Amino acid sequence: MGWPNTEELIGLAGKHQNLYLSLSGIIGWLARAPYRGYHMIGTALQWVPADRIVMGLDLPFDDMKKAVDYIRNLQIPEELREQWGYCEITDEMRAKILGLNLAGLAKIDPTKRV
């Protein structure tokens, strides 16, 4: 997400269809500070479709289960959706962010294992 230049990257991704946004590197932070994530992801979804947001787990010191659960259960609170114009997060959006988007980029056929 280009932190600390997140909004600039989101704007560029809105203009360039081949630019994806990644939660890699900050997902642990968002899991620990959920409202920061609501705003960051909510803003991103105002400019790009969920098809172009991916999640990576590249920081070994983060609590991986907590990070995955943050996205698995992600829902922007109604108050923020009303006041900031963020969209509701659907199961399809969560699945794309959790791995379907990366599978498509890597041309991997995803299979459900759980």
Domain boundaries defined on the chain: 6-105
Global pTM reads: 0.92
Task: Please write the tens of the pLDDT for every residue from 29-53.
Answer: 999 999 999 999 999 999 999 999 9
Using CA atoms, how far apart are residues 3 and 41, in angstroms rounded to an integer?
Answer: 12
Task: Please write the tens of the pLDDT for every residue from 60-94.
Answer: 667 889 999 999 999 999 999 999 999 999 999 99
Using CA atoms, how far apart are residues 97 and 52, in angstroms rounded to an integer?
Answer: 8
Tokens describing residue 18: 């081949």
pLDDT level of residue 14 (50, 70, 90 thresholds): very high
Question: H or E stretch including 21?
Answer: strand 21-22
Using CA atoms, how far apart are residues 81 and 89, in angstroms rounded to an integer?
Answer: 10
**Residue-level pLDDT at 38:** 98
Using CA atoms, how far apart are residues 84 and 78, in angstroms rounded to an integer?
Answer: 10
